[in-house]
A and B are shown apart, each in its own frame.
Chain A
Amino acid sequence: MTDTDPTGSADRSVPTDSLGNPITVPDSDDILVVSAADGSRWELVCGLEVHAELATRTKMFSGAPNRFGDEPNTNIDPVTLGLPGTLPVVNERAVELAATFGCAVGATVQRSVFSRKNYFYPDMPKDFQISQYDQPIVIDGTLELPSGHVVGIERAHLEEDTGKSTHVGGDGRIHGADHSLVDYNRAGVPLLEIVSRPHVRSAEQARAYVSELRSILVACGISDGKMEEGSMRVDANVSVRPEGSDEIRTRCEIKNVNSLRSLGRAIEYEATRQADLHASGDRVVQETRHWNEADGRTSTMRSKEEADDYRYFPEPDLVPIDLGAERVAAIAATLPLLPAARRARLAEVTGEARTAESVVVVVERGQDDQALAALAWTTHLASESEGGPHAGEPDVAGRFMAEVVEPLAIAVAPAPKPNAPSPDSSAPAESSADPSAASAASVARWVLTDEGLAAAREASDAAKARVLVHVTQNLGAEGGADLSPLRLAELVAMEVAGELTATQAKQVLAELVDDPAATAGSVATAKGFEAMDTGALEAQVDAIIAANPSEWEQFRTGDPKVRGKLTGFFVGQVMKATKGQADGKQVTALLQSKAT
């Protein structure tokens, strides 16, 4: 065994990582610089350790269920409880998921060995944790943030989770509690610990890194990535150095960071704390610190100097894992399109920037396939309707029909998503032969064909804008993902054709999500939404102008800034008068034409 220490050791002349490689810190145009009390400036160097619970059915080393939220001590078997005589056996799925992650971040998936990390703690049934130490399964990957900044992944290794203690008495916190109660349901849940290189230079990058990592884990079915349920936990290794220097200074590990927001706050707090210590000539002690959300501060958990000596040694009850190049290649071949590529695709098809909020958000929520499918279908609808922007054009839409939608009608009982985390599918059953009833997931598979993407690309600019707005702002993450893109497309088509205003469309959309049987047309009819004909709308606009002569005069003669302000006023008045049925854009166009 080499002299390495994944938990970090202080005082090395040449700083190396847990695998003995020299530590490098990249430059960035986004570096957090904090000012110490004496005015000196210090820049952040940060690495992140993310523990992701793997989306397996059973535990890392036994067949006990891996399930969150059950009654205490129900998901346990003799192995989970570490009963004398029990032995661990590695969960094959967990290994595959770790390898999948390695492939997704372009890392090396290597021969790996489990070790025992020995320390006493009541929520750890064996009083040692089986983990990978000097031979982790994944090494040397990279992760590109939406901003383009690249964060190196030093390693990712498999290990088992611990149980959970509840503290009774006191105020429910560990200190001052009368006694504690231990539930081992979580003990043995497979974890992938993903260790970044210290390439995170700002709080924003830290958030973006975790967010991107989460997207990848979810997209690949590796983890459900729920920070709020603790299935994804983040520790930050924070150090600072004089602005512009290339030193590596003592770092502290910040634990108990339970949300992206606290992650940013904790890093900023800790960076400032350390900067003040350095500036006043004090020593930063290498230690683990606890983030207290309420106080907005970090505090000492235990110092590294007092830390347990973990006495790692190879786990004698397990044998090495070596998937081999062929099996790793096969796993790589099953990777879905990853968030970065999906952002590029969505941006390219919609004409937005890759870093545009709509693109980042839609991909982060995993609704980009839904959006693209909706666009493809609007193209088809447009070509069908008279006067549609693509009527009579080379038949992209027809090809979409023939190659995407029609086959869909006979292939409506699709295989589950390749990386669906659990067998108890929450996706709606797809038994109808009506393509419009097919789920986002099934259409999405088809729209990934070149023809499908071409059809999506052919959609009108108006349709693209409306689809992105709906998916980004109006659909939301919950429930919205189940809305068939074909039904969304019908709605957008009505909007683009002027049959619904944006406001009305939003209301119709809400109905579509709530009622799977509803269509945009039926909801619009039921709600009495009718497109105002241009004549009626013009009359309304004229009436509003007549009622507000001084505003109109300002509008007519004002510079663009004034005009912009007053546009809002007039549109608002027209909307009020028409009870929201007017199309804001049309009103704006009428105002502009009447002013000249």
Chain B
Amino acid sequence: MTGPSPSSPSSPSPAGTAREIARSVRSGERSAVDVLDGYVAAIEARETEIHAFNELTLDQARTVAADIDRRVAVGEDPGPLAGVPIALKDNLCTRGVVTTCSSKILEGWIPPYDATVVQRLVAAGSVAVGKTNLDEFAMGSSTENSAFGPTRNPHDTSRVPGGSSGGSAAAVAAGFAPVSLGSDTGGSIRQPAALCGVVGVKPTYGLVSRYGLIAFASSLDQIGPFATTVADAAVVLEAIAGHDPADATSIPQDAPSIVEHLDDGIAGLRVGVITELMGEGIHPDVAARVREAAEALAAAGAVVEEVSVPAVAYGLSAYYLIAPAEASSNLARFDGVRYGLRVDAATTNEMMVATRTAGFGAEVKRRIMLGTYALSAGYYDAFYGQAQKVRTLIARDFATAYERFDVLLSPTSPTTAFELGAIHDPLTMYLNDICTIPTNLAGDPAMSVPFGTGSDGLPIGVQVLAPTLGEVPMFRAAAVLEAAAPTEEVDR
């Protein structure tokens, strides 16, 4: 099916929300294997059409699920995500399971270790069903840059799911798993969440360990959850967050307790709508939904005003200097010596050039080149150095806003999902991230919550932004938006 199917967007989760699944599996009401079977059926029905996954691990999943059932049977508690199927973005290292970043250069690579988040998900009792498609090395906003073909939006398979975590967003939207993990460097969780009509969270930088996340831009990358509900996103975030000694940038504190505050309401919560992200470049349908969302929050007792965060205007420029610079260095290691693709040549240097030239796609090459240039002799101060200072400006402007507001509100994406192949020009594609990038630069948390549809019938996401480690008020506001979201869009 390639035509639009706006009337049947995400399949209803075969087995309810992740919280319901975990509760029923822990109590022995349902078996984890049964839960898994429901999702396997959904995957078998639509995966060929959607292409959310690079690799399915259903056999291992069945083994894990059976083990969870065995543990429940003997009175053990497998954890807060007991029996919950989860899809993992294919840039998270999984021991024994192929991890490719959707790149030819890593095709077939099997990591000998698990990412910290993967270890924590296992410890929480979840059941990994597969590795999801992404823009190669997470560079993109449509998942069209995958070496293994694009992922399609479950709401309309002629459209992109957004990116770079398009596979993880689509997997949840299509009912292939109740929750998934993505990574967000400039909006790579929130933008596809918005385009696929699901919840997506980019936590505070340093809240979730990056150990085992194949780096794109180290100072911006952060792992976060996708879910069909705000509460499910909170449960997964609690499971993966918290200090990790293997990540030196990990904030030395425990995971926040979010779920217990979800229903606290928002009476008196001060909400600022970011002026700079409501004007030029934002589709009127999207801006309208954001205003409705603001009204919904006000109706629930929040104090809503407009606020200017001037430096966000510099976000895109700073981002497209910093992220490629770090990427150019992070991706140097793919040289054909130790793992991954090798294209033979007479000398090691020629082999490296041949391997990298054949192994990386155009967008990855473009960013490596851009980043190499931004760091090269004579340009460091003007580009990378200057951009790191702009981060300070952006962080300061946000901090000033947060003196008056507890959370901020903006669109997640300027538009709804666009057609596959519609955007050719890199700079135009980059403009998709204009609303999401500033929070990555500031290091602050933000999440996208589905809030109705556009006139095209496609999902629209509203972005809730919060100060550093402000996940709790952010989720409280998100929970209110979820409850107030226009219902014509969602059929769950």
Contacts and interface: CB of A to CB of B under 8 A. Distances in A.
Interface stretch (A204-212, A310-318, A493-501, A511-519): A310-318
Interface in B85-102: 91-93, 99, 101
A184 to B, nearest CB: 8
B421 to A, nearest CB: 29
Interface in B308-331: 325-326, 328-329
Contact of A313 (B109, B338, B380): B380
Interface in A178-204: 180, 182
Interface string A332-349: 000000000000000000
Contacts of A319: 248-249
A313 B325 contact: yes
Interface stretch (B32-40, B369-377, B467-475): B369-377
Contacts of A116: 329
Contacts of A127: 332-333, 335
B20 interface: no
Given A89-B248, A116-B329, A316-B219, A83 B339 contact: yes
A106 interface: no
A84 interface: yes
Contacts of A84: 93, 99, 101, 106, 109, 111, 214-215, 333-334, 339
Contacts of A128: 329, 332
A312 B380 contact: yes
Interface in A112-152: 116, 118, 120, 122, 125-128
A120 B332 contact: yes
Given A128-B332, A318-B248, A86 B211 contact: yes
A402 interface: no
Contacts of B249: 316-319
Interface centre among B215, B329, B349 (most CB of A within 10 A): B329
B202 to A, nearest CB: 17
Give the interface size bracket for A toward B: 20 to 34
A316 B247 CA distance: 11
B385 A1 contact: yes
Interface in B369-414: 372, 375-377, 380-381, 384-385
Of the four ranges (under 10, 10 to 19, 20 to 34, 35 or more), the interface on chain B belongs to 35 or more
A88 interface: yes
Interface in B233-254: 245-249
A83 B99 CA distance: 12
The interface residues of chain B, by DSSP majority, are classed as loop
A313 B248 contact: no
B79 interface: no
B371 to A, nearest CB: 9
Given A82-B338, A84-B99, A311 B248 contact: no
A313 B372 CA distance: 11
Contacts of A311: 328-329, 372, 375-377, 380
A3 B91 CA distance: 36
Interface in B48-105: 91-93, 99, 101
A127 B92 CA distance: 21
B465 interface: no
A87 interface: yes
B97 to A, nearest CB: 13
A85 interface: yes
Nearest to A2: B381
B426 interface: no
Contacts of B326: 313, 316
A126 B332 contact: yes
Interface in A100-117: 116
Interface string B99-130: 10100001001011101000000000000000
B329 A122 contact: no
B329 A87 contact: no
28 contacts: A1-B385, A3-B381, A84-B101, A84-B106, A84-B339, A85-B91, A85-B92, A85-B93, A85-B115, A86-B113, A87-B210, A87-B211, A87-B246, A88-B248, A89-B246, A90-B248, A116-B329, A122-B337, A127-B335, A182-B337, A311-B372, A311-B377, A311-B380, A313-B326, A313-B375, A317-B215, A317-B249, A318-B249
Interface of A: 1, 3, 78, 81-90, 116, 118, 120, 122, 125-128, 180, 182, 309, 311-313, 316-319
Given A311-B328, A312-B380, 13 more contacts: A78-B113, A84-B334, A90-B248, A120-B332, A122-B337, A125-B338, A126-B332, A311-B375, A313-B375, A317-B247, A318-B248, A318-B249, A319-B249
